[in-house]
Structure 1
Amino acid sequence: MSVMYSGTPVPVLKEIRDYYGRRYRVGQTDRDLLGRSRTWMFWAAWAAMLVASVGQYGYGALMPVLGSTHGWSLAQGGWVLAVWILCQSGTVYPAARLRGRLGVPPAVPMLVGAVLCATGLVTLGGSGSLVVVLLNHGVLGGIGAGLIYGTCLGVVASWYPERPARTAFVGGAFAYGSIPFVVLAGQFATPDGIEAFLGVAGVLVVLLVAAAALLLRDPPDYWWPPHVDPREWALDKSVNRGLRRNRPPIRRYSDAEMVRSPVFRLLYLAVTCLTAVILFDIAHLAVFAVESGWSAGFGAAALAVLAAASGLTRTAEGWASDRFGRRRVVRVALCAGGVAQLLLLSAGQQGSATLLLLGAALAGGAAGACYGLLPGLVEGHFGERPGLPNFGVFYGAKSVGGLLGVALAGYVAGSDGYAVAFLVAAVLSVTGAGLVGALRLPGLPRLPLP
């Protein structure tokens, strides 16, 4: 709806609430706010996410080379990745909160994140000092990746509130975007060429993220596209197909209210189990392949299969969620992730390359399904506010999972072998499925039978 002012239509802004009391700002289109389609925000964020995960998936491919080049043990190399994960996942929530409170435009954290990521990569290739690499790649590089990750997901979620699958699609780029790096690392990241290889990678990260940063903009808080009535979206299953298998949240919870809820603890533990398993696979799959008798190139190829499956699975998040329900899909995916650990262990013991690639694909697909549905799972229980701050709290569980699945698993694999580590990972994955099955909607009254 718009009125004419000096011959120019001016949109009429208004704030409405749905049946649950949730707020929506309607009246302005994306072209009114940006001068172009919101599709530009989607593809700019997607492009930046392609290179944000180099320090995670790419590092897993570099583990065998870094061990021989810098003289690090498996546990030492694992600690570098564990610190990176700790800082990357721990940055998402505070960055979302600060951006929302201070009104910081997306370009600022994006540019800072690009420089920090590039600095970490250059240090990783040029320095053999474990302390220097921990500080520059682990801490600074992890913070930089967290700034890029949180900003991109927050911007896309704000521009596409009625299409959560768009957020999952952009999140998938965090996984499959690292495939070129992983494949090239298996060919060119030799002890003599790793410094130049990571230097070039750092330059490409800065260029691509900076280009995306120049385009990204935030919509106003609670903005809603005018072509969809938010009140119908909240109740009508023919308009919002996700309601057919997923109950909407009772209301929007603040982060403090959310943390006090018993449901929060269950979901946080489930996310910890999930992240511990997939990060164990990312960190140790290439090393496990080499120790099982395959080449470093094949180890990198197996990791690329895992990353591809993780990223591509997230693109089907919307369809699976609408058809089967988020919680059911996550439970099945976690059980499949447990089976994948047993397949990987059997492949190493039998020397079966086909079985190893199958296990890698199943592990990646299971993780991708869970990560793709996690924002919707959080929103379905606790509601959501602009910038995904509630999701950022749960994403922080990745730091605990990193310590369990990367650092501590390195010690277990080094002392007791990979058989124990893979069995523990399988148990954790199935445990996560049980925790998700125990979730219930917070605020829903319990009605005892008379």
Structure 2
Amino acid sequence: MARPDAPGTPLAGTAAHAVGYREVTDHNGRVYRVGETDREILGHSRKIMVYLPWLAMMAISVSEYAFGSAEDTLSHAHHWSRSDTFWILSVWVFFQAGVAFPAGWLRERGLLTARNAMYIGAGLVLLGFLALSHATDVLWAVAGFGVLGGVGSGLVYATCINSVGKWFPERRGGKTGFVNGGFAYGAVPSIFLFNYSFDTGNYRQVLDAIGVYVLVLVAVCAWFFRDPPKNWWPADHDPLRRTGPAKTVTALDKNPPATKQYTPMEAMRTGMLPLMWVLVVMTAGVSIFGISFQVPFAKEVGFGPLVAASSMGIMSVINGVGRGCIGWLSDRWGRKPTLIFVIVVLGLAQFGVLWAGTIHNQALFLVFAFVSGFGSGAFYPMFAALTPDYFGENHNATNYGIAYSGKLVSGLFGGGLGATAVDAWGYDGAYLLAGGISLLAALMALALHRPGAPRRRKIVPNPHPISREAT
């Protein structure tokens, strides 16, 4: 009897279908499984595998994007220093990013289903918030929120990103960007809550309630999670001849499928996966720096709580909306040029935020917070889409886990070492360094290319595809 969460199993309450498919092979030898519709596999449209991950990502976003707004109250309540709170977030980032690779490895070997990964993640996030609210010793907060909460959020994040990419292999940029965007703007209500209604008299109740909210919402979404069969391709799209809707043809023309299904070791040997890892380290470090220090910098230069909260709220909203827009744009421009554009914007925004704060111009500060928010998150869906574009979908959970693990290193210099840089050189030196790192990353990204294929845009159809029928 099939498990209820096994690929190809309809949701509870739906009728089973006799699912037939065939496998076709392109000129590179890559196999595509075609013929099965999403409704035959899921029992309904695959669009649900965009909205469910999006909701789950919004739920866990409070852990990272609202933490900077809560740190002052936590510091006063628990008698923590600024360095203590920054290191709590840095440890959270380390484990949130670091769990992606082992979780991907377990998922691809059938040892951890998408549903169970989400359940475990939801429970650990709850424990993280309980530790943050009730642990007065900073080490317990690091262990609870930083380690357990980070692992839990990482399980949810990686599962959501990988799932949507599997269900939309022909147009993953926009869908991945949309889902990824929830991880940013989902925190906006909490940012204003932490700035206006969060104090030493109610912080425990607020944090406990947020933990329960995350647990319930993620668990409900998890119940409906499924993965498609390996090599699956939508039945109404021809992967060899690029027939289908015009937007799909354009997306495949600008972002051709991987030449083969690369294992992690094969992907590493191409040199592209290590380069992507380095780029994630650099860009995510700059992004985390901006998230961690924008509110403190605004307060440092004399802006009031409304400007400080609004700047972070703007950053989160534009961060999230920008991810969706950039994902959509990459389906039309191509993933690599879009990625380079985003990294350049991220670097220039750091200089702009510093300049606006230095001249004490609140309007300009909000404008550059807008630009910084756009650049600070839009590169994430680009790496999430580039990984299966370059290395295929079958090992994407592991391959993307390797690329995304660069964030665990960036969490150290973006948060903890960023605090050290501020203490040593002030905000001027720290922001200049962050902007320079981002521009260097943009130059390095010019070396990215799809492994195993000439550097060209067009897909060459296989004139004699191999087809195997199966039922």
Amino acid at match of 2:432: L
Separation of aligned partners in 2, 1:122 and 1:350: 41
**Amino-acid identity (%):** 34
Query: Which secondary structure state, in structure 2, belongs to the residue aligned with residue 102 of structure 1?
Result: coil
- Cα offset, 1:106, TM superposition: 2.0
Match of 2:372 in 1: 363
Amino acid at match of 1:428: I
Task: Say whether residues 1:289 and 2:298 are aligned partners.
Answer: yes
1:240-268 Cα distance to aligned partner (Å, 9 max, x none):
21244445433332111122233333322
Separation of aligned partners in 1, 2:93 and 2:48: 29
Task: Say whether residues 1:439 and 2:448 are aligned partners.
Answer: yes
Match of 1:37 in 2: 45
The counterpart of 1:191, out of the listed 192, 196, 200, is: 200
Which stretch shows the higher mean deviation, 204-213 or 410-419? 410-419
Change (3 A) 1:337 1:85: same
Separation of aligned partners in 2, 1:362 and 1:154: 28
Amino acid at match of 1:330: L
Match of 1:312 in 2: 321
Unaligned runs of 5+ in 1: 1-7
Separation of aligned partners in 2, 1:348 and 1:357: 10
Match of 2:10 in 1: none
Amino acid at match of 1:310: N
The counterpart of 1:414, out of the listed 402, 413, 423, is: 423
Which stretch shows the higher mean deviation, 58-67 or 133-142? 58-67
Amino acid at match of 2:417: L
The counterpart of 1:117, out of the listed 125, 128, 133, is: 125
Separation of aligned partners in 1, 2:156 and 2:296: 28
Match of 2:31 in 1: 23
Amino acid at match of 2:347: G
1:346-385 Cα distance to aligned partner (Å, 9 max, x none):
1221222112211211111113321121122223333332
Query: Which secondary structure state, in structure 2, belongs to the residue aligned with residue 315 of structure 1?
Result: helix
**TM-score with structure 2 setting the length:** 0.88
- Cα offset, 1:308, TM superposition: 0.8
The counterpart of 2:76, out of the listed 37, 53, 68, is: 68
CA RMSD of aligned residues (A): 2.3
Match of 1:222 in 2: 231
Separation of aligned partners in 2, 1:419 and 1:192: 35
Task: Say whether residues 1:331 and 2:316 are aligned partners.
Answer: no
Unaligned runs of 5+ in 2: 1-15, 456-471
**TM-score with structure 1 setting the length:** 0.92
The counterpart of 2:148, out of the listed 140, 146, 165, is: 140
Task: Say whether residues 1:99 and 2:107 are aligned partners.
Answer: yes
Separation of aligned partners in 2, 1:180 and 1:350: 29
Contact 1:378/1:390, CA 8 A, preserved across alignment? yes
Match of 1:4 in 2: none
Separation of aligned partners in 2, 1:427 and 1:234: 43
- Cα offset, 1:444, TM superposition: 4.4
Alignment of 1:227-246 (within 5 A): 227-233=236-242, 239-246=248-255
Separation of aligned partners in 1, 2:453 and 2:234: 29
Contact 1:106/1:217, CA 8 A, preserved across alignment? yes
Which stretch shows the higher mean deviation, 389-398 or 31-40? 31-40
Query: Which secondary structure state, in structure 2, belongs to the residue aligned with residue 36 of structure 1?
Result: coil
- Cα offset, 1:92, TM superposition: 1.3
Contact 1:58/1:181, CA 8 A, preserved across alignment? yes
Change (3 A) 1:259 1:327: same
Change (3 A) 1:246 1:212: closer
